[in-house]
Amino acid sequence: MKNKFKSLILVTLLGVIILTLSGCLFKPSEGGIISSGRPYEYFNFTVRNDYTDTNNVELTDGKTGDYSDPGDGPWVGLWKGEEKEMPGTVVIDLGKAQQISSVSAYFLNGSWGINVPAKMEVYVSNDAKTWDGPYTYEPGSITGKVGVWYSASVNKVGQYVRCDMFFNGANIWVSEITVIQ
């Protein structure tokens, strides 16, 4: 019994050492979401009082709204800004220049008279002043779907990602924006 207990402790310690060293020896796989928890700003939008973005974290928190009931989940309601003909813009700061393969945004469609954007244009920058793009997503027919992902292929290196959302009505509801490496 004593030898079995020693063996169990030895195997457990060996497992802990291997797990600890694996984080030091192996590079994490690339291709994941690099926008999680990153800060962002709104331009030419007014955030709705009934579907607010508490502390500007909802669009990059990794949680998507429930597509079966628009009242559930982290939906952010965005009204057109003062420049009615201009797109509403969200700029995400990735913290450092990184490879970006695509950018996606999850929108509410059709419920409560809310429509997805007419299109989404994505731009990439290293200084938030000079932008490469646009990388555009224009939806096809999406009737019947409540939650819809828009995705634009980018394949560019940058620190800042700008999403211009062109209105297809008075407001847009968005739940998540993901930047994929």
Report the chain's mean pLDDT, rounded to a whole number. 79
Which pLDDT score is estimated for 156? 97
Alpha-carbon gap, residue 32 to 40, rounded angstroms: 19
Residue 47 confidence class, pLDDT cut points 50, 70, 90:
confident
- Residue showing tokens 């709104």: 42
Q: Write down the domain spans for the chain.
A: 30-180
CA angle 49, 55, 59 (to 5 degrees): 85
Residue 5 confidence class, pLDDT cut points 50, 70, 90:
very low
pTM: 0.78
Residue 181 confidence class, pLDDT cut points 50, 70, 90:
very high
Residue range 124-179, pLDDT digits in tens: 999 999 999 999 997 766 666 677 889 999 999 999 999 999 988 888 889 999 99
Architecture of the domain made up of 30-180: Sandwich (2.60)
Comparing 41 with 70, which gets the higher pLDDT? 41
Which pLDDT score is estimated for 2? 59
Decide if 165 contacts 91 (C-beta within 8 A): no
Comparing 70 with 121, which gets the higher pLDDT? 121
The single-letter code of the amino acid at 54 is: T
Decide if 78 contacts 115 (C-beta within 8 A): no
Judged against a pLDDT cut of 60, whether residue 22 lies above it is answered with no
| Among 175, 174, 167, CA closest to 83 | 167
